Structure formats: structure tokens, C-alpha cells
Amino acid sequence: MSRETSLVTAQWVEEHLDDPKVVLIEVDEDTTAYDKGHLRGAIKLDWTTDLQDQVRRDFVNKQQFEALLSERGVANDDTVVLYGGNNNWFAAYAYWYFKLYGHQDLKLLDGGRKKWELDSRELTEELPNRAKTSYTAQEQDLSIRAFRDEAIAAIGVQNLVDVRSPDEYAGRLLAPAHLPQEQAQRAGHVPTSINVPWSKAANDDGTFKSDEDLKALYAAAGLDDSKETIALCRIGERSSHTWFVLKELLGHQSVKNYDGSWTEYGSLVGVPVAIGDEPGEA
């Protein structure tokens, strides 16, 4: 993967607003943002209801994902362009989620909703009407999804990249200042994980930094690109943003997103936890 295959500019999207094979999908942390105005023709996915099992803590299964995309009018051969607010956190999460279920032609709108708004581009409240499809998903590609036991096994062995803010990493905060407090029992981080906040990979307008800047960022932070990598944050949304950078923009071979992230790890009984600004010992 590369920047050319996985990222599109606002200009490109504007030129493809009327392309029937390009499906724009808004996925926002604020699930009401779409209703106040969205890119023309874009459909909405609600990460809290459409993409989560409503009983267990897990994703919807393959059949539910197929039913969802069929009902919303997404076809297997469509080019899906994801975008959202908050610097594309949840759009990147949806991108990773679509990858997990094997969608082939996927793009992220560089800068997301913010860049689009800052450019004063058109937004509409008009709802699109897409004909239903018969979508077929693949089994989950677990080469990009990490579970708790893999996170524990990676301590001192693989790259663990914790992309939360420095205060969350150190254990001074349990969640970002503006978010609902879905919290773990304990504060801190996985021992030996390095802290590279997701925001260091993005410019103020939400677009990604250049490949050269991104390579320098992770090299300076001590990421060993000969090793496998697991990215984590609090609930797996910001780490999807970093997963996108490492896997899709920089082309690292083995990068997994740990969607259980700190809300799971920090509630496990008996696992090691480090607090403070240093990674800590294995």
C-alpha cells in the first residue's frame, strides 16, 4: 500500500462526487455531525450502532456486516472513500474495519471533514438514495487485528505503539478531556510500549504529514521496523489512525490494531502495567 492507493485529496473527492462507483461514507465520533451537513451523496455509518455488536463487546459478524453494506447500497467493486470529523479518527477506524472484512478498493479522505470545512467546500443535508446491493464480505483478516493475549506476548518482544496523549500514557488521565469516560480500572500503559501520540502524524488541518516526516517520527521514537507492531490507544480508534500511517502510508509489513486497547488491557487482572512517562521494563 502507499499514499497513492489509500489516500485521496478533497479535490479528488470533489471531482468524483457524481461518480456512481465511488461511495462516500461519513463515520464520526459525533454521530450527529452527518445530520447537520455532509458531503453530497455520502452515506453515514454509526460506529456505535452499525459497527458494534449490541450485546457483547465485539464487532458485528460477517453476516451482519454483509447485511449492513447491502442495505446501505455498497457493492463489492465500489471505491469506498471514508471521511469523518476529529481528524478522521473514526473514519480511519472504519477503514481498518472494512479492511478486516476484505473490502478491496478503500480510500481515506486526507484531512476528513475538517479539511473539507476549512476549505469552505459544499455540505448538504440532502439524503442520498442508493439501491440495495448484495454484498459479500470475507472472513476477518486477523493479520491486522490484535487481541489481548497478543498484546501481553508482545511486551519486550514486538513494537507496542501507544498513541494516546502523553497524560493518558503516563496514567495522569484515563481518557481525552472531551470524551465520554469509557474507562479502564487502572491508568498507565503496557510495559515497553512507546508513546507516539496519533496527533504527531497529522498536520493542524487534519491531513497526514509527509512520508519523510512520518518515517523520521517513528524512527526517532524507537520503532524497530524489522519487528512486528501492535498499535493501541483507549478504544482502538486513534490507533486505527496510526495503523493507517504505518501499514497503508509507510508500507510496514506486519501492523496490527488492538481494538480492545486500554479499556480492556487496563481492566485485566494480573497483567503488568507501567506508569509514568517512561516505557518501563518487560
149 to 63, 153, 238, 255: CA distances (angstroms): 26, 6, 21, 16
Rule CB under 8 A: say whether 79 interacts with other proteins. no
Cβ-based nearer residue to other proteins, 142 or 216: 216
In three-state secondary structure terms, 181 is coil
Taking the C-alpha atoms of residue 175 and residue 161, their distance in angstroms, rounded to an integer, is: 17
Cell for 199? 496527533
Rule CB under 8 A: say whether 199 interacts with other proteins. yes
C-beta of 37: minimal distance to other proteins in Å? 9
Cβ-based nearer residue to other proteins, 74 or 161: 161
Rule CB under 8 A: say whether 180 interacts with other proteins. no
Give 87's Cβ-side CA count (13 Å radius). Answer: 20
Taking the C-alpha atoms of residue 2 and residue 151, their distance in angstroms, rounded to an integer, is: 26
Rule CB under 8 A: say whether 277 interacts with other proteins. no
In three-state secondary structure terms, 199 is helix
C-beta of 30: minimal distance to other proteins in Å? 8
Of 238, 268, 262, the closest CA to residue 187 belongs to 262
**Would residue 270 show up in a list of annotated catalytic residues for this protein?**
no
Interaction pattern, residues 9-48, with other proteins; x per rule: CB under 8 A:
----------------------------------------
Rule CB under 8 A: say whether 165 interacts with other proteins. yes
C-beta of 238: minimal distance to other proteins in Å? 11
Cell for 156? 519486550
User: Residues in the site for other proteins, rule: CB under 8 A?
Assistant: 85-87, 114, 117-120, 165-167, 172-173, 176-178, 197, 199, 204-205
